[in-house]
């Protein structure tokens, strides 16, 4: 299996290690032979999707009573690291159903809301989409302009959301909006509420698909809400508590993004090491050149440090002892690390790595978003610096 480091796995118990190994075997046996095709087309073969469902991967963190496996965050991270060695279309939907959406429902949803959505998400039959980002509001969530105006029996939502992952596929949108009790009042800066909007609900439409530099598989969409009316039973959590609810998921989201960076970087290093062992130039394998060895060694070293850091924080997350700036440190370090590792590994491949059909080319493009999504690297640095300055360090 090439270069392997186990730093961080000391945090895992026997059951978690077994689940991690099972996920690795699934990827090795069923996915990697389709790696180039999936990376180019975004199409996941039906047998892979079926196996993901059969193994329960869509509902890993969803409570057992709703059809999930009920795994803790550390076990989920262990499995996700192995799944993220796959092309992103394979593991991204798994991360979506186990991520912010299911956690928001589990923590803040009513009994009816949980029964309506969680079993379908656990079975891979309901695709959720977190609908927060807007043209004028990215990392600055409080600057969103989408409003929810009080109407008889419910709320009327109007506004524009964009860069919404799975926005065009979603069966249920989790929409963050500012509240307006009266139509003519200015929406309060702190009064945010989360709403559940089902596919087919009148008043919203997919304005356009937004292809990223990583290509079409990621299905980013711009969504327009025009007097989209939902009932009071579509409020998720407390009225006015939407921002607090979203913020409560940030640590888990950022650690999960760091785990995805680890798995993707590991795959890049595996590919580069295999290429260095077999590619010959000037009468010898390129792995015999010291310059190439340096590219591989530096990547392995950074990856080992990132894994140890991330698994330590993932373990502590179960005890609710993780501070916001600590999650920011992990997300910042791993996302920046992934970019450097992907760049070095592409360099090992030379010109062949620059070709679109090369898996390393796909990885290089995929990891670039990690420094943007879930809060930019600059935002993470600000959180870390603020904590240091507050402590007087």
Mean pLDDT confidence for 360-388? 95
Asked if the model's pLDDT at residue 1 lies above 80, the reply is: no
Mean pLDDT confidence for 374-383? 95
Nearest to 262, CA basis, from 100, 77, 15, 23: 77
Asked if the model's pLDDT at residue 218 lies above 60, the reply is: no
Give the homologous superfamily in CATH for domain 128-240.
Butyryl-CoA Dehydrogenase, subunit A, domain 2 (2.40.110.10)
Asked if the model's pLDDT at residue 286 lies above 70, the reply is: yes
Q: Is 253 labeled as catalytic in the residue annotation? A: yes
Asked if the model's pLDDT at residue 5 lies above 70, the reply is: no
b/e map of 33-43 (b: 16 or more CB within 10 Å)?
ebbbebbbebe
Asked if the model's pLDDT at residue 137 lies above 90, the reply is: no
**The domain defined by 9-122 carries CATH number 1.10.540.10:** yes
pLDDT of residue 2: 41
3-class SS of residue 197: strand
Mean pLDDT confidence for 159-176? 94
Report the percent of the chain where pLDDT is more than 70.
Answer: 93
- What's the predicted TM-score (pTM) here? 0.92
How much is the mean pLDDT over the chain? 91
Confidence of residue 356 (pLDDT cuts 50, 70, 90): confident
pLDDT of residue 188: 54
Asked if the model's pLDDT at residue 181 lies above 90, the reply is: no
pLDDT of residue 213: 86
pLDDT of residue 157: 97
Mean pLDDT confidence for 226-238? 97
Q: For 246-391, which CATH class?
A: mainly alpha
Structure-block tokens of residue 123: 């079975």
Nearest to 242, CA basis, from 159, 162, 351, 132: 132
pLDDT of residue 262: 97
pLDDT of residue 8: 57
3-class SS of residue 176: strand
Asked if the model's pLDDT at residue 121 lies above 90, the reply is: yes
Strand (E) or helix (H) holding 371: none
For residues 7 and 305, the model is more confident at 305
Helices (H), ranges, the chain: 14-26, 35-41, 46-54, 73-83, 88-98, 100-108, 111-122, 242-247, 250-278, 290-317, 324-349, 359-367, 377-391
Domain ranges for the chain, please list them: 9-122, 128-240, 246-391
Asked if the model's pLDDT at residue 9 lies above 90, the reply is: no
CA distance 196 to 115: 14
Q: Which of 253, 270, 302, 336 is catalytic?
A: 253
pLDDT of residue 227: 96
């Amino acid at each position: 299996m090439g270069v392997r480091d186990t730093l961080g796995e000391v945090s895992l118990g026997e059951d978690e290690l077994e689940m991690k190994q099972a996920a690795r075997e699934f990827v090795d046996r069923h996915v990697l032979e389709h790696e180039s095709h999936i990376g180019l087309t975004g199409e996941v073969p039906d047998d892979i999707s079926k196996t993901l469902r059969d193994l329960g991967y869509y509902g890993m963190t969803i409570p057992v009573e709703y059809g999930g496996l009920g795994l803790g965050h550390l076990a989920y991270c262990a499995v996700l690291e192995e799944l993220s060695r796959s092309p992103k279309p394979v593991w991204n939907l798994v991360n979506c159903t186990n991520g912010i959406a299911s956690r928001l429902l589990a923590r803040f949803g009513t009994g009816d809301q949980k029964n309506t959505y969680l079993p379908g998400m656990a079975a891979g039959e309901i695709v959720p989409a977190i609908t927060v980002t807007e043209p004028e509001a990215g990392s600055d969530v409080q600057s969103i302009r989408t409003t929810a105006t009080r109407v008889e029996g419910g709320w009327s939502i109007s506004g524009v959301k964009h860069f919404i992952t799975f926005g065009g596929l979603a069966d249920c949108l989790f929409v963050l909006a500012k509240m307006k009790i009266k139509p003519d009042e200015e929406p309060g800066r702190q009064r945010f509420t989360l709403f559940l909007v089902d596919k087919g609900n009148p008043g919203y439409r997919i304005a356009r698909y937004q292809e990223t530099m990583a290509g079409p598989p990621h299905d980013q969409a711009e969504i327009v809400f025009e007097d989209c009316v939902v009932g009071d039973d579509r409020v998720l959590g407390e009225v006015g508590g939407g921002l607090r609810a979203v913020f409560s998921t940030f640590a888990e989201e950022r650690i999960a993004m760091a785990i995805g960076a680890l798995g993707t970087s590991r795959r890049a290093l595996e590919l580069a090491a295999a290429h260095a062992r077999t590619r010959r130039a000037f009468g010898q394998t390129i792995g015999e050149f010291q310059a190439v060895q340096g590219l591989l060694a530096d990547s392995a070293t950074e990856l080992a440090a990132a894994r140890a850091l991330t698994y330590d924080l993932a373990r502590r997350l179960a005890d609710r002892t993780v501070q916001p700036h600590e999650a920011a440190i992990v997300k910042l370090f791993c996302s920046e690390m992934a970019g450097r590792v992907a760049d070095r590994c592409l360099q090992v491949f030379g010109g062949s790595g620059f070709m679109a059909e090369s898996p390393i080319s796909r990885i290089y493009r995929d990891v670039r978003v990690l420094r943007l999504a879930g809060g930019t690297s600059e935002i993470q640095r600000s959180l870390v610096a603020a904590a240091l300055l507050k402590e007087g360090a």
